C-alpha cells in the first residue's frame, strides 16, 4: 500500500455552488460499472454532474491497463487538461482504475498537476482524496493491495433507467500469460446470492427490465463459497423475479463453462439467447502458451451444445492475434475455428506486451507488420461471417428494446435503435401514424435489411409494427421529468430509475 492514512468520511462540498464533475471511462464493462460508483460517491458528497459541453470542476479518469497504448492515451488526455486546469481555479483531476493500480506514483511523476491517484481496491476513497488534496494543497496517492469494501455497497449513479449491470464477483483466479488483470484486481471474490438478487430486485423495482450479471469470469461464480453449480442456480433464480424480462451475463471462461449453465440458459425464459465466449486463439499450442485451460475441441463443443439447446443463440467472442511465437499454422488454426464457430461479432485485438505479464518476456515477439497482416485477414473473415449471419435474419420478426442511443446516421434515416433479444443491434423506423417507443419500450418488427454490424427494420405499414409500452419506458419518463424538475405525464411513482446501460458491441457503419 502506497499510503497508510485512513480515508476520512468526505464532507459535502461547501462552495456557494455545488462543484461539478465528469468521469471519463476507458476499458471493460467492469470499469464502466466502477465509474457508476465513482459518480454515486461524488454526488453523495455534494458534487453534481457537469452539463454536456461544460468545463467540470473535477475530472476523474477511470483507466484500463490491458492494451499497450493505455499509458499513452491517459497521458495524452492529462496533457490536454493541463492548460485547462491552469485557467480554471480550483479544478481537480483524479486518476483511478487499473492503470493507477499498476503505475501508482509514476502518474504523479509524469503528470504532477494530477490531484489524486487511487486504485481498483479503494474506489470509495475518491471523495475523501479530493477533499484532502484541496485542504492540503498537495496531491494524494492511495493504493490498497486488497479489496476492503465490495464495490456494490457503495453509492451508485447509474447511467440508464431501463437496463443495468449487477456485479456478482470481482477479481480473477486464472493466470493467463497475456493478462495483467489478476494482479490489478486480485483474487476472485464472490458476493452471496441473496445480496445479488436483492440488487437485481431493486433495479426492477426502479423500472429496469433488463439486467446483465457481471464478473471477470462470471461462470466461475461460487468458487469462494464452494458451490460449483452456483452460477446456473443464480440464472434460474433471476428467472423468478417478476418484471425482469431480459437477463444477460458477461464474460464466461470456456474452461469453467458447464452443461448446467447451458441448461439454465435454455430453461429460463428471461435468460437471453446470447453468449459471449472468449476464444483468444484457435491453436491448441498457443492456448497452452497462454495458459488457457481448454483446447479448441472443448470450445467448439460448448458452442455446439449451446446451439443444440438454443438454436437462435448469437455467440460473440474475443480473439488475440500475434501472441509471441504464433506461427502461420497457429494463425490458420484460429481462422479455422472462427469459420466453424460462426460468431455474430468478435472483439479482435493485436497482441500487445504488458510489463508484469509472463508473455511480455517470451521469446519470438512478432514483428508489427506480421501481426497487422494477420489481423486484417481475421477482420475480413469475421466481417464476412457476420454479414452472412445477419443476412440470415432478414424476414425474421424480432422483439427489440428501444435504447436512448441513436445510430450514427439517425439524423439522415430518422430510424430509432434498439437491441434484439440476442443483443443484435437493430435500427428501425416507425410507420407514419404509429406511436414511437420511449427508451425501454419494446417494439416487434420484421427485419428488412442486414449489414455486417446491424440489422434494419423498415415496416411497410402500421400492421408490420407493434409497440409494447413498458415499466422501463415509464421509468424513462420519470427520469426525464426529474432532470427537468417537472411532473412526468402519467407517472404513477416518484421512484428514480437507477440502472446502467447495456454493453455495446462494436458498431460500424450504423
Per-residue pLDDT band for 10 (boundaries 50, 70, 90) equals very low
Residue 221: which pLDDT band, with cuts at 50, 70 and 90? very high
Return the pLDDT at 12: 45
- Cross-strand partners of 467: 443
Q: How many domains does the chain have?
A: 3
- Give the domain-ending residue among 80, 108, 142: 142
pLDDT at 355: 79
To the question of whether residue 179 is assigned a binding role by annotation, the answer is yes
In 98-236, beta strands by DSSP E:
116-118, 140-142, 163-167, 169-170, 189-190, 210-214
Residues 232 and 374 in one domain: yes
Please, which pLDDT band fits residue 121 given cuts at 50, 70 and 90?
Answer: confident
Radius of gyration, CA atoms only, the chain: 23
* Distances 245 to 100, 218, 506 between C-alpha atoms, Å: 37, 20, 24
Within-domain flag for 49? yes
Can you tell me the mean pLDDT for 93-108?
A: 86
pLDDT, position 241 = 97
Indicate which CATH number applies to the domain containing 117: 3.40.50.12160
Classify 140 as helix, strand or coil.
Answer: strand
* Measured distance CA(117)–CA(96) in Å, rounded: 6
Residues 375 and 468 in one domain: no
Residue 274 lies in a domain: yes
What's the chain's average pLDDT?
87
- Lowest-pLDDT range, 118-132, 153-167, 172-186, 339-353? 153-167
pLDDT of 491 strictly over 50: no
Q: Are residues 192 and 231 in the same domain?
A: yes
pLDDT value at position 6?
41
- Report the share of the chain in percent with pLDDT over 70: 87
Beta strands per DSSP E along 177-290? 189-190, 210-214, 246-250, 274-276
Candidates 247, 315, 327, 242; CA nearest to 283 is: 327
Per-residue pLDDT at 11 exceeds 60: no
Please report whether residue 1 resides in a domain. no
Distance CA 170, CA 155 (A): 17
166: CATH: 3.80.30.20
Mark whether 200 and 346 lie in a shared domain: yes
Nearest to 497 by CA among 176, 89, 208, 110: 208
> How much is the average pLDDT of 316-338?
98
Q: Which of 39-43, 49-53, 189-193, 383-387 has the highest mean pLDDT?
A: 383-387
Q: Is residue 502 part of a domain?
A: no
272 and 315 both lie in a single domain: yes
- β strands within 277-340, DSSP E: 314-321
Rounded to a whole number, what is the distance in angstroms from the first to the last CA of the chain? 46
Claim to verify: residue 380 and residue 474 sit in the same structural domain: no
- Do 366 and 428 belong to one domain? no
Q: What is the mean pLDDT of residues 232-258?
A: 96
**Residue 40 sits in which domain range?**
20-142
Q: Is residue 349 part of a domain?
A: yes
- Domain assignment present for 343: yes
| Residue 382 forms part of a structural domain | yes
* pLDDT computed for residue 185 by the predictor: 72
Indicate if 29 and 127 belong to the same structural domain. yes
Residue 261: CA count within 13 A, CB half-sphere: 24
Q: What pLDDT sits at residue 183?
A: 72
Flag whether pLDDT at 395 surpasses 50. Answer: yes
> Of 376, 391, 406, which residue is a domain's last?
391
> For residues 42 and 21, is the Cβ–Cβ distance under 8 A?
yes
Judgement on whether residues 375 and 257 belong to the same structural domain of the protein: yes
| Across 126-140, average pLDDT | 90
Same structural domain for residues 354 and 335?
Answer: yes
Phi, psi of 353 (to 5 degrees): -70, 130
Q: How far is CA 35 from CA 74, 95, 154, in A?
A: 16, 12, 11
pLDDT of residue 411: 79
pLDDT category of residue 424 using cuts at 50, 70 and 90: very high
What is the predicted pLDDT for the residue at 153? 60
Q: Can you tell me the mean pLDDT for 95-102?
A: 85
Q: How confident is the model at residue 184 (pLDDT cuts 50, 70, 90)?
A: confident
Binned at pLDDT 50, 70 and 90, residue 27 comes out as confident
Statement to judge: residues 248 and 377 lie in one domain: yes
Whether the pLDDT of residue 510 is over 70: the answer is no
Output the domain CATH number for residue 425. Answer: 2.40.50
Give dist(CA 478, CA 471) in Å, integer. 11
Question: 169 and 138: one domain?
Answer: no
- Judged against a pLDDT cut of 90, whether residue 150 lies above it is answered with no
Q: Is 495 a residue whose pLDDT tops 70?
A: no
More confident residue, 235 or 352: 235
User: What mean pLDDT do residues 383-387 have?
Assistant: 97
Give the per-residue pLDDT at 39. Answer: 87
The contacts of residue 489 (CB under 8 Å, 6+ apart) are: 477, 481
pLDDT of residue 479: 81
Is pLDDT at 193 greater than 70 in this prediction? yes
pLDDT of res. 379: 97
**Mean pLDDT along residues 33-60:** 88
In a domain, 75, yes or no: yes
The reply, when asked if residue 238 is annotated as ligand binding, is no
Nearest residue to 451 via CA among 510, 403, 402, 500? 510
pLDDT, residue 242, reads: 97
Which pLDDT belongs to residue 182? 75
| Structure-derived torsion over alpha carbons of residues 489, 492, 494, 499, reported in degrees to the nearest 10 | -90
User: Which of 351, 374, 391 marks a domain boundary?
Assistant: 391
- For residue 496, pLDDT over 70 is answered with no
Mean pLDDT within 209-235: 93
Cα 490 to its chain centre, rounded Å, is 33
Give yes or no for residue 507 having a pLDDT over 50: no
Q: Is the pLDDT of residue 509 over 80?
A: no
Phi, psi of 5 (to 5 degrees): -70, 130
Nearest to 222 by CA among 260, 248, 184: 260
pLDDT given at position 158:
67
Asked if residue 308 has pLDDT above 90, the reply is yes
| Residue of 293, 246, 420, 283 whose CA lies nearest to 345 | 420
Q: pLDDT tens for residues 278-305? A: 999 999 999 999 999 999 999 999 999 9
The verdict on whether residue 484 carries a ligand-binding annotation is no
Cβ atoms of residues 274 and 421 within 8 Å: yes
Amino acid at each position: 500500500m502506497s499510503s497508510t492514512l485512513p480515508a476520512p468520511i468526505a464532507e459535502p462540498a461547501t462552495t456557494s455552488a455545488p462543484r461539478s464533475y465528469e468521469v471519463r471511462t476507458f476499458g471493460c464493462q467492469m470499469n464502466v460499472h466502477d465509474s457508476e460508483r465513482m459518480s454515486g460517491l461524488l454526488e453523495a458528497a455534494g458534487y453534481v454532474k457537469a452539463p454536456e459541453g461544460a468545463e467540470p470542476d473535477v475530472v476523474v479518469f477511470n483507466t484500463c491497463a490491458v492494451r499497450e497504448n493505455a499509458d499513452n492515451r491517459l497521458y495524452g488526455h492529462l496533457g490536454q487538461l493541463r492548460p485547462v486546469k491552469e485557467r480554471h481555479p480550483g479544478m481537480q483531476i483524479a486518476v483511478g482504475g487499473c492503470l493507477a493500480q499498476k503505475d501508482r506514483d509514476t502518474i504523479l511523476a509524469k503528470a504532477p498537476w494530477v490531484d489524486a491517484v487511487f486504485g481498483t481496491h479503494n474506489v470509495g476513497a475518491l471523495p475523501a482524496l479530493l477533499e484532502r488534496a484541496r485542504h492540503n494543497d498537495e496531491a494524494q496517492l492511495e493504493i490498497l493491495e486488497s479489496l476492503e469494501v465490495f464495490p456494490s455497497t457503495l453509492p451508485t449513479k447509474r447511467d440508464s433507467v431501463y437496463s443495468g449491470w449487477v456485479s456478482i464477483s470481482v477479481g480473477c483466479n486464472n493466470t493467463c500469460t497475456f493478462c495483467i488483470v489478476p494482479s490489478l484486481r486480485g483474487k476472485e471474490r464472490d458476493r452471496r446470492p441473496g445480496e445479488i438478487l436483492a440488487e437485481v430486485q431493486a433495479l426492477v423495482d426502479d423500472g429496469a427490465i433488463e439486467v446483465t450479471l457481471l464478473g471477470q469470469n462470471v461462470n466461475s461464480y461460487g468458487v469462494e463459497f464452494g458451490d460449483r453449480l452456483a452460477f446456473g442456480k443464480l440464472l434460474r433464480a433471476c428467472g423468478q423475479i417478476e418484471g425482469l424480462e431480459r437477463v444477460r451475463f458477461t464474460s464466461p471462461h470456456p474452461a469453467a463453462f458447464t452443461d448446467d449453465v447451458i441448461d439454465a440458459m435454455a430453461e429460463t425464459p428471461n435468460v437471453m439467447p446470447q453468449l459471449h465466449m472468449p476464444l483468444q486463439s484457435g491453436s491448441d499450442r498457443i492456448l497452452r502458451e497462454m495458459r488457457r485451460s481448454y483446447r479448441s475441441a472443448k470450445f467448439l463443443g460448448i458452442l455446439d451444445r449451446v446451439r443444440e439447446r438454443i438454436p437462435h443463440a448469437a455467440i460473440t467472442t474475443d480473439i488475440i492475434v500475434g501472441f509471441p511465437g504464433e506461427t502461420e499454422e497457429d494463425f490458420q488454426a484460429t481462422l479455422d475455428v472462427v469459420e466453424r464457430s460462426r460468431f455474430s461479432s468478435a472483439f479482435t485485438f493485436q497482441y500487445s506486451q504488458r510489463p508484469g505479464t509472463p508473455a511480455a518476456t517470451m521469446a519470438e515477439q512478432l514483428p508489427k507488420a506480421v501481426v497487422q497482416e494477420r489481423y486484417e485477414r481475421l477482420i475480413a473473415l469475421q466481417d464476412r461471417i457476420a454479414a452472412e449471419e445477419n443476412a440470415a435474419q432478414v424476414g425474421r420478426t424480432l422483439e427489440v428494446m428501444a435504447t436512448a442511443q441513436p445510430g450514427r446516421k439517425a439524423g439522415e434515416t430518422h430510424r430509432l435503435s434498439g437491441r434484439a433479444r440476442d443483443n443484435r443491434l437493430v435500427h428501425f423506423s416507425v410507420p407514419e401514424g404509429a406511436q414511437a417507443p420511449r427508451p425501454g419500450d419494446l417494439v416487434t418488427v420484421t427485419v428488412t435489411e442486414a449489414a455486417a454490424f446491424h440489422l434494419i427494420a423498415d415496416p411497410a405499414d402500421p400492421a408490420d409494427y407493434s409497440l409494447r409500452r413498458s415499466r422501463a419506458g415509464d421509468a424513462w419518463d420519470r427520469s426525464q421529468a426529474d432532470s427537468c424538475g417537472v411532473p412526468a405525464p402519467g407517472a404513477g411513482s416518484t421512484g428514480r430509475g437507477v440502472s446502467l446501460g447495456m454493453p455495446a458491441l462494436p458498431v460500424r457503419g450504423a
